[in-house]
Amino acid sequence: MSVDVHWVSRELRALDDELAEAYPYEDWVLARSLTVPLREAIGALRSIRGGNYRVNLPVTTGGEVGELQSSRVARAVASNRQLEEVMTDFWLNHFNVYAQKGPPEAYYLAEYERDVIRPRSLGKFRDLLEAVARSPAMLFYLDNARSMADSSRPRLVSDRERERRTNAARQAMRRRGRPGGRNVPGTRISPDMNEADAAMRQRQNQLRNGGLNENYGRELLELHTLGVDGGYTQQDVINVARALTGWTLRPPAVGGGFIFRPEMHDAGEKIVLGHRLKAGRGSEDGEEVLDIVSRHPSTAKYIATKLARRFISDNPPQAVIDQAAAVFLRTDGDLREVVRSIITSNEFYSRQAFRAKVKSPFEVVVSAMRAMNAQPDSTPRTAQMIAYLGQPIYGHQAPNGYPETGDAWMNTGAILNRINFGIAAAANRIPGARIAAIPGFDTLASAPRQQQVDAVVSMLLAGSVSADTRAVLMSGENPLLANAKDSAGSMTGAAVDDSPGMMANAERGPGNGLRAGARQNPLGRGDTVLPQLRGLAQVIGLALGSPEFQRR
Written as one letter, the residue type at 345 is: S
pLDDT for 21 equals 53
- Alpha-carbon distance of 1 to 373, in angstroms, equals 26
pLDDT in tens, 500-518: 333 333 333 333 334 433 4
Q: Are 155 and 265 in contact (CB under 8 A)?
A: yes
**pLDDT at 236 exceeding the cut of 60:** yes
179 Cβ contact list (under 8 Å, min separation 6)? none
- Residue range 69-79: average pLDDT? 92
Domain ranges of the chain: 145-294, 361-544
Averaged pLDDT for residues 312-318: 97
Smallest Cα–Cα separation from 492: which of 527, 525, 529? 529
Report how far residue 157's alpha carbon sits from residue 283's, in angstroms, rounded to the nearest whole number. Answer: 13
Region of 268 on the Ramachandran plot (φ > 0 left; ψ -120 to 50 alpha; else beta): beta
Q: Rounded mean pLDDT of the chain? A: 81
Instruction: Work out whether strand 507-508 and strand 270-272 pair parallel, antiparallel, or are unpaired.
Output: unpaired
Q: Residue 482 — pLDDT band, cuts 50, 70, 90?
A: confident
Residue 167 has pLDDT above 70, yes or no: no
Q: Is the pLDDT of residue 154 over 50?
A: yes
What is the mean predicted confidence (pLDDT) over 429-455?
A: 93
